[in-house]
C-alpha cells in the first residue's frame, strides 16, 4: 500500500480530433456556466421571491442550498476525477447541472427550486474541479501558463458578467431565464467535450470514505455556520453549534488524511510554502472581492436609486479591467516573478475598497464608482491568474484533481468567510448610527468596505511572507 494513488494509469482512447484552442474553449465554457450561476441568481432574488412566494427568511436558501452542496462536496469531486477519469467526471457534472438548471427554470413551487438548486451544487462540485484539472493536465509549459490565465480570467470575469446578464434577463425577460441560460451552454459542452477533450489517465485506487465523509460534513457545517453568522450575527446559537461541529469534523478529517493510505486530500499538497500561501491569499482576496459585489450592488439600488438593469451594467468597468488584467498577468510573471505582481494586485484591490469606503448619497458614478471598480478588477484579475498557477505548480499528475478541488474550496470558503465578517461589520456599524434608514445603511456599507480593505491587505502580507520573489512561474 502506498501513500498516494498509484501512478500507473489505465490507458484511455484519444478523441477523434484534438485542437488545443477548442479544448480550452469547451472547458472554460463549463466554468463560465458555473460562475454565472452564482451572480445571475443573486440579481434575480427579488423576482424569484415574488414569483414563487418565498418568505423573506426562506429566500436566502435559494443561494444557501447551492453553497452548502457545492462547498461540502468539492474535495470529493476533485479526487473523483483522479480515480474515475477527469473527462468522465466533467461530463457527468455538466449533464446533471444542465438538467437541474432546466428544473430550476420551470419550478412552480419553492421546494422544487430548492431541491434543484441543491442538485446544481452537487453537480458543480464535481464538474468545476475536473475542469481546472483538465486544463492543468492537458497543457504544458508556456501553453499551460496561458491556458490557466484564460481559465482564471473566465472565473473572475464571470462574476461581473453575471451581474450584467442577470440585470438584463431579469428586467427584459423573466427570472426563469437566469437558469435557462445554462441549458444551451451545457448542451454545447456535452456535444463538444467527447470530441475535443482527451480522457485523462485513471489512476488505480479507491476512495477514502472516512476522509470524504468528514470533509463533506465539516465543510458543509462550516459553510452553514458562516451563513448563519452573516444572517443573524455571532450570537446565533445555530451558527455556533455548526461552527463547533465544523472544527471537530475538520480536525477529524486532518487526522484521517494523515493516516490514510490513499487520502482524498493528500496533506503533502500543503508542504510547499508557495502553494499554501496561494490558498491563504486566495481566501483573503476572494473574501474582499465579495464585499464589492454584494454591498455595491445594494448601494447602487437602495441609495443611488438604480434599477436592476442599470446596477448590472454599472459593473461593466470591472469586467473590462479583469479582462485586461488577465491578459497582462502572464507577462508580468515572466518579467517580475510571482511575488510582486500578486502583491501589487492585492494592493490595487485594497485601494479600490478604501476608495469605496468613502461613498455617500452624493457619490457620483463617474467620480466615485468607476475608478474603484477598475482598481478592483485589475487587482482581482492579476491575483487570480498568478494564484491559480501557484496552486497547481509542481503538483504530481495523480494529485491534480485534489489540488484543483482545494483551489475551488479555498475560493468558496474565502467568499463565505469574507461575507460573514463583512456583514458583521456592516451590522455593528449600523447600530451606532442614529440617522435615517439610508444613513444607517450607508454607514454600514462604508464600514464593510473598510474591513474588505483589511482583507485585501492581509492577502498582500501573506504573499510577501510566503512566496519567493525571484523565481518565475515554470522554473
**Model confidence, pTM:** 0.74
The pLDDT of residue 6 is 41
How many angstroms separate the CA atoms of 185 and 32, rounded? 9
Residues of the chain with pLDDT under 50: 1-18, 470-475
Choosing among 1.20.1250.20, 3.40.47.10, 1.10.645.10, 2.40.160.20, the CATH entry for 272-475 is: 1.20.1250.20
Of residues 386, 384, 389, the one with CA closest to residue 411: 384
Spell 122-143 as b/e; 16+ CB within 10 A means b.
Answer: bbbbbbbbbbbbbbbbbbeeee
β-strands 9-10, 202-203 pairing: antiparallel
- Count CB atoms within 10 A of the CB of residue 244: 12
The pLDDT of residue 16 is 44
3-state SS, residue 145: helix
Grid cell 437566469 in the structure block, residue = 178
- Alpha helix stretches (DSSP H) within 173-208: 177-180, 182-196
How many angstroms separate the CA atoms of 291 and 41, rounded? 17
Measured CA to CA in angstroms, residue 358 lies from 22, 137, 369, 383 at distances of 45, 45, 10, 24
Model confidence pLDDT, tens digit, residues 108-145:
888 888 889 889 988 988 888 888 778 777 777 677 77
For every residue of 351-417, DSSP letters joined together read HHHHHHTT--TT--HHHHTHHHHHHHHHHHHHHHHHHHHHHHTT--GGGHHHHHHHHHHHHHHHHHH
Are 34 and 97 in contact by the 8 Å Cβ rule? The answer is yes
Provide CB contacts within 8 A for 288, sequence distance 6+. Answer: 349, 350, 353, 418, 452, 453, 455, 456, 459
| C-alpha grid cell, residue 76 | 470529493
Are 349 and 285 in contact by the 8 Å Cβ rule? The answer is yes
Phi-psi region of 379 (alpha: psi -120 to 50; beta: other; left: phi over 0): alpha
18-199 and 272-475 share one fold:
yes
How many angstroms separate the CA atoms of 146 and 280, rounded? 23
Are 357 and 299 in contact by the 8 Å Cβ rule? The answer is no
How many angstroms separate the CA atoms of 190 and 87, rounded? 11
3-state SS, residue 191: helix
The pLDDT of residue 119 is 92
Interhelix angle 110-138/61-84, rounded to 10 degrees, is: 40
Query: Where do the domains of the chain lie?
Result: 18-199, 209-261, 272-475
- Count CB atoms within 10 A of the CB of residue 28: 22
How many angstroms separate the CA atoms of 298 and 457, rounded? 24
Provide CB contacts within 8 A for 74, sequence distance 6+. Answer: 125, 128, 129, 219, 405, 408, 409, 412
Are 253 and 214 in contact by the 8 Å Cβ rule? The answer is yes
How many angstroms separate the CA atoms of 238 and 246, rounded? 12
How many angstroms separate the CA atoms of 76 and 130, rounded? 11
Model confidence pLDDT, tens digit, residues 189-246:
888 888 877 766 665 556 666 777 777 777 777 777 776 766 666 677 877 888 888 8
3-state SS, residue 9: strand
Nearest 5 degrees, angle CA 121-CA 124-CA 126?
120
CATH of domain 18-199: 1.20.1250.20
Measured CA to CA in angstroms, residue 375 lies from 157, 362, 419 at distances of 14, 21, 20
Amino acid at each position: 500500500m502506498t501513500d498516494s494513488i498509484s501512478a500507473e494509469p489505465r490507458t484511455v482512447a484519444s478523441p477523434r480530433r484534438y485542437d488545443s484552442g477548442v479544448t480550452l474553449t469547451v472547458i472554460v465554457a463549463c466554468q463560465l456556466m458555473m460562475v454565472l450561476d452564482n451572480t445571475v441568481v443573486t440579481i434575480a432574488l427579488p423576482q424569484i421571491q415574488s414569483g414563487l412566494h418565498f418568505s423573506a427568511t426562506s429566500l436566502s436558501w435559494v443561494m444557501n442550498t447551492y453553497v452548502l452542496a457545492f462547498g461540502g462536496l468539492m474535495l470529493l469531486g476533485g479526487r473523483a476525477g483522479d480515480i474515475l477519469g477527469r473527462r468522465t467526471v466533467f461530463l457527468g457534472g455538466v449533464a446533471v447541472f444542465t438538467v437541474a438548471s432546466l428544473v430550476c427554470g420551470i419550478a412552480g413551487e419553492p421546494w422544487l427550486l430548492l431541491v434543484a438548486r441543491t442538485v446544481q451544487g452537487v453537480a458543480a462540485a464535481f464538474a468545476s474541479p475536473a475542469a481546472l484539472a483538465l486544463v492543468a493536465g492537458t497543457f504544458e509549459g508556456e501553453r499551460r501558463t496561458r491556458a490557466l490565465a484564460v481559465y482564471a480570467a473566465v472565473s473572475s470575469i464571470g462574476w461581473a458578467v453575471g451581474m450584467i446578464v442577470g440585470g438584463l434577463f431579469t428586467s427584459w425577460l423573466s427570472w426563469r431565464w437566469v437558469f435557462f441560460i445554462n441549458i444551451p451552454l451545457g448542451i454545447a459542452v456535452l456535444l463538444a467535450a467527447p470530441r475535443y477533450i482527451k480522457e485523462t489517465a485513471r489512476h488505480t485506487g479507491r476512495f477514502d470514505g472516512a476522509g470524504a465523509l468528514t470533509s463533506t460534513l465539516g465543510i458543509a457545517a462550516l459553510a452553514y455556520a458562516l451563513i448563519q453568522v452573516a444572517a443573524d450575527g455571532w450570537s446565533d446559537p445555530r451558527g455556533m453549534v455548526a461552527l463547533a461541529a465544523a472544527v471537530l469534523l475538520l480536525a477529524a478529517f486532518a487526522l484521517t488524511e494523515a493516516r490514510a493510505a490513499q487520502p482524498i486530500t493528500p496533506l503533502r499538497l500543503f508542504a510547499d510554502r508557495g502553494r499554501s500561501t496561494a490558498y491563504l491569499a486566495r481566501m483573503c482576496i476572494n473574501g474582499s472581492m465579495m464585499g464589492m459585489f454584494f454591498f455595491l450592488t445594494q448601494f447602487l439600488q437602495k441609495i443611488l436609486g438604480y434599477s436592476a438593469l442599470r446596477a448590472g451594467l454599472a459593473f461593466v468597468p470591472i469586467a473590462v479591467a479583469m479582462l485586461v488584467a488577465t491578459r497582462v498577468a502572464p507577462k508580468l510573471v515572466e518579467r517580475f516573478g510571482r511575488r510582486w505582481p500578486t502583491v501589487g494586485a492585492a494592493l490595487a484591490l485594497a485601494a479600490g475598497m478604501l476608495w469605496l469606503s468613502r461613498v455617500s448619497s452624493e457619490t457620483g458614478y463617474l467620480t466615485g464608482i468607476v475608478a474603484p471598480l477598475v482598481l478592483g478588477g485589475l487587482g482581482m484579475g492579476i491575483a487570480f491568474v498568478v494564484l491559480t498557477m501557484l496552486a497547481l505548480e509542481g503538483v504530481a499528475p495523480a494529485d491534480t484533481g485534489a489540488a484543483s478541488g482545494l483551489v475551488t474550496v479555498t475560493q468558496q470558503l474565502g467568499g463565505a468567510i469574507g461575507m460573514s465578517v463583512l456583514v458583521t461589520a456592516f451590522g455593528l456599524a449600523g447600530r451606532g448610527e442614529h440617522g435615517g434608514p439610508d444613513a444607517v445603511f450607508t454607514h454600514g456599507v462604508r464600514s464593510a468596505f473598510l474591513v474588505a480593505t483589511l482583507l485585501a491587505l492581509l492577502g498582500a502580507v501573506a504573499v510577501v511572507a510566503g512566496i519567493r520573489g525571484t523565481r518565475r512561474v515554470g522554473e
